[in-house]
Amino acid sequence: MNPLALVGRIAQLLPVLLGVSVIVFVMMALTPGDPVEIMLSGQQVTPEQVQAMRHDMGLDRPPLERFAVFLGNALTGDFGLSFFHRRPVVDVIAERLPATIELTLAALLIAIAISIPLGVAAAVHKNRLLDRLAAVGSLFGISLPGFWFGIILIILFAVHMQVLPVSGRMDYACEVAPFTRLMTIDSLLRGRPDCLADALSHLILPALTLALPMAAVLTRVQRAAMLEVLRSDYIVFAQAKGISRRRVLWRHALKNALVPTVTVAAIETGSLLGGNMVVETVFGWPGLGRLVVESIFVRNYPLVQAAVLFYAVTYVFLNFFADLLYTMLNPRVRL
């Protein structure tokens, strides 16, 4: 791998970030509503007090100037104070991020564990029962809305069977000293199997809700890629060598057929990190998605700005990571 490639990617990132900042700023500026009014609604305040608060937040200055100040500060790593938390935006985001990362990773793992074997099996048994079932299952997974599926899972496992908690991330009884801030991993590291079980019981339903639509897409992609690869000469040649069928499929075919799956998985992971607001809300998951939704409602400009920039950075790096995986899967690709 060429270290220059990483530098190149970071250089590409700068214009993306600038563009994203402009768009988010303009959209927030055009959205009707005033954070000060929202914060002070229902309270007895004088116009002077309102004015003082606006000045305090820098909202009395013209938009262009506000944008320039934001950019200048952002370049030094200062994204300002969250209007509501009265703490640096970066701290607030950092607090919520691990929950979202944990949920995303869990969903990604489940989706991969389902889709790759299923996609391969569907391709191998093309047009037979298993393939048809996988196709129907994928169609459901793609077309059913995530929140609906989440609610069904809650009704089934939390309300009727009462085997899993309805919402939240961890029982209050479990206090694990933070290390990675991923509850499952920290419980493991601190040797608390009871907390691990608790964390997993909270994690499983939201993770499944996110994983199933993703698995549906990845299964289709994996099946199509595998069918394409199975037609290649090198598969016939591998069979002619008399090596085991398992090796032909899982080594010769899959290594080539993983490339499109990796691409799509990277994109899907990016959108999970940024876009699981609905599922986080349904399950009361204390992640970044919910924080951003709440912040938009109360016009918490600094937090929304910083969060969206974070999404953009994540996206670019996930794609870079996917490209790195390509070079491992396909040696002809050079970064």
Partner 1 sequence: MHSTRSSATEMSEPLLSIRGLKTCFATRAGMVTAVDGVDLDVYPGECLGIVGESGSGKSVTFASVIGLVRSPGFIAGGSIAFEGVDLRTLSDEGWRSLRGRDIAMTMQDALTALNPALTVAEQIEEVILAHANDLPRGGRRDAARLRAVEMLRLVGIPAPEKRIDDYPHQFSGGMRQRIMIAIALSCRPKLLIADEPTTALDVTIQAQVLDLISDLRRELGMSVALITHDLGVVAEHTDRVAVMYAGQIVETGPTRELIDRPRHPYTKGLIGLIPRLSDLDAPIRPIDGQVPELIGLGGTCRFYDRCEFRTPRCRTDIPMEAVEPNHHARCIRVNEILRVEEVLQ
* Binding-site ranges for partner 1 (CB under 8 A): 232-234, 236-245, 247, 251-252, 255-256, 329-332
Q: By C-beta, is 140 or 237 nearer to partner 1?
A: 237
The least CB distance from residue 331 to partner 1, in Å, is: 4
Q: By C-beta, is 143 or 244 nearer to partner 1?
A: 244
Q: By C-beta, is 101 or 221 nearer to partner 1?
A: 221
Q: By C-beta, is 48 or 233 nearer to partner 1?
A: 233
The least CB distance from residue 328 to partner 1, in Å, is: 9
DSSP letter (8 states) at residue 166: S
What phi, psi does 128 have (nearest 5°)?
-100, -175
Q: By C-beta, is 73 or 239 nearer to partner 1?
A: 239
Instruction: Please report where in the chains the tokens 């933070």 appear, as a residue.
Output: 178
CA 125 to chain centre: 32
Contact at 8 Å (CB) between 295 and 304? yes
Helix (H, G, I), strand (E, B) or coil at 81: strand
Q: By C-beta, is 191 or 242 nearer to partner 1?
A: 242
Other Cβ atoms closer than 10 A to 197: 13
CA 52 to chain centre: 39
The tokens describing 217, both together, are 């897409």
What element of type H or E holds 89? helix 89-124
CB proximity list for 235: less than 8 A, separation 6 or greater: 229, 248, 252, 253
Distances (CA, A) of 238 to 224, 250, 295, 324: 20, 12, 56, 27
d(CA 240, CA 320): 37
Q: By C-beta, is 148 or 234 nearer to partner 1?
A: 234
Q: How far apart are the first and last CA of the chain?
A: 7
DSSP letter (8 states) at residue 250: I
- 207 exposed, middle or buried (CB, 10 Å; 0-12, 13-18, 19+)? buried
Q: By C-beta, is 55 or 255 nearer to partner 1?
A: 255
Distances (CA, A) of 304 to 89, 91, 110, 290: 9, 13, 30, 11
